[in-house]
Amino acid sequence: MSKAAVVAASSAYPKPAQTFQYGTAGFRMKADLLPSVVFRVGLLAALRSRFRKGDVIGVMITASHNPPCDNGVKLIDPLGEMLESSWEAHGTSLANAASDDDVYELYSKLERDFGVKPDEKARVVYGCDTRESSPALVKALKDALDALQVESTDYGVVTTPQLHYVVRCLNTQGTDHAYGEPTLDGYYNKLSAAFNQLMAGRSNGPVTVDCANGVGGPKLHELIKYLTPGIIDVIPTNDDTATFSKLNSQCGADYVKTGQRLPPSTDARPLARYASLDGDADRIVYYYVDNSSVFHLLDGDKIATLAASFIVDLVRASGIEAFNLGVVQTAYANGSSTKYIEKLGLPVVCTPTGVKHLHHAALAYDCGVYFEANGHGTVLFSPDALHRIGAHTPKSPAEQSALASLRALTELINQTVGDALSDLLLVEVILAHKAWTPAQWDACYTDLPNRLEKAEVRDRNEYKTTDADRWGCRPRSMPWWPSMLLPGALCGRAAQKMWSGSMLRQRQRRRPTT
């Protein structure tokens, strides 16, 4: 590694007068503040790959459901999971290094601390969403990788889950647990083959999908080409990626979930199925209107309970015994969903907010179902579970049928990260197998009334929570309004009875501080 090359490349991306922090979604902010951050994340990706002895590391440039003026960047670890949390601090340190020389010195120190040799092979793949700012940020990333002589591949405009999929495929090629072909064609083929198998002899009415005017639009159009004609009619809407200002504007999963309302562009037909993706297509929510034109939201909690009930039925029908299935939620989960899962006889775990926490907890089960209420989630099958599913010998035609569906389901689900396209197909399969309308799905349980709000605070780091984010504990003099908006004050397990806002306030004040 040449100091001159790194310093010269870094000098093209001076750090603004801003403090940065690697968070749950990596770095995310106004796009004009990001060039120096993205350059330094490129250095971190190279270091991570070298530390992992040449494993492929992914870098995704996206701001998901944020407005068009924002962008972001995050790293993807070798099995398609989020960056190991202990490395987030190194990303923060690099992003905040004051000068180009400091960037080089910090990188060199991290190399020494981790025992990484400068000539160790590094491999990085990267992609971006459809934002206007993305190409310039991709260039900043590529300049960092070139300065360190990293072997890199640009996958272009992709959904976030597609890049996660590619990373895992590349790192498992030639192994007993190869995940798939590391191309977009491989991604579409894997999902569509499983979907077509699961839908054989069945069909669904049309589903209208709001693509948030983001990358999910063109990718959904591509996926549709791989589906068997006549099985399902998927109708993409809000799929304009050419007009950058339309991204996530009065559309998309966050708009629908937060406001609990239809996108203005949707003229909903009673009892028809509708879904909304977010800007990078890693989350999805469903909804419908009833015969009285009342809006009904089918969010991540509803998807989790639908998936868990279907999978546990398939496992039991296939004859596989001692199969440990659990559901992971956050404090944002509606209390009614938790009670419903418990009635299914399944364990429920609550973790702090953030996909990395849910994903880790889900790994403890043979099959772990995790979804945030916002619609971001997936289903994980352990290596042992996959082996048992593959090796199980059915004892009857009924067991054979259930087992075939279960095996296909493991291929349909993107097990690297929450994937709106994969989850869309998963929901459609389950509804087809159950022959359910959205109203019948909704009738499984009734959500406790809930409302999602945001509060502006001076410094979010001043606010601390306990009990998996279900209670605020700092500062002790926390005003009731911001504290009420901490996850624990919503309709999670800590608030399974419905309280008015004032009663929430009383409940929180009675809680001992820690």
Residue 469 annotated as binding?
Answer: no
Residue 282 annotated as binding?
Answer: yes
Q: Which two tokens stand for residue 218?
A: 């063109």
Residue 280 annotated as binding?
Answer: yes
Residues involved in catalysis: 64
Q: Which two tokens stand for residue 278?
A: 């977010």
Question: Which SS3 state, helix, strand or coil, does residue 471 take?
Answer: strand
**123 touches 152 (CB < 8 A):** yes
Cα–Cα dist 513/383, whole Å: 42
Residue 278 annotated as binding?
Answer: yes
**26 touches 73 (CB < 8 A):** yes
**CA distance readout (Å), 69 to 33, 100, 238:** 11, 27, 18
| Contacts (Cβ under 8 Å, ≥6 apart) of 494 | 331, 467, 470, 471, 488
Cα–Cα dist 269/397, whole Å: 40
| Biggest alpha carbon–alpha carbon distance for the chain | 69
What is residue 200's DSSP assignment?
A: T
Q: Which two tokens stand for residue 205?
A: 């009415």
Among 224, 333, 330, 214, residue whose Cα is nearest residue 277: 214
Cis peptide preceding 475, ω within 30 of 0: yes
Q: Which two tokens stand for residue 442?
A: 């909704």
| Contacts (Cβ under 8 Å, ≥6 apart) of 194 | 408, 409, 411, 412, 425
Cα–Cα dist 82/359, whole Å: 9
Strands 367-371 and 325-330, by their bridges, are parallel
What is residue 286's DSSP assignment?
A: E
Name the binding residues.
Answer: 64, 278, 280, 282
Annotated binding site for Mg(2+): 64, 278, 280, 282
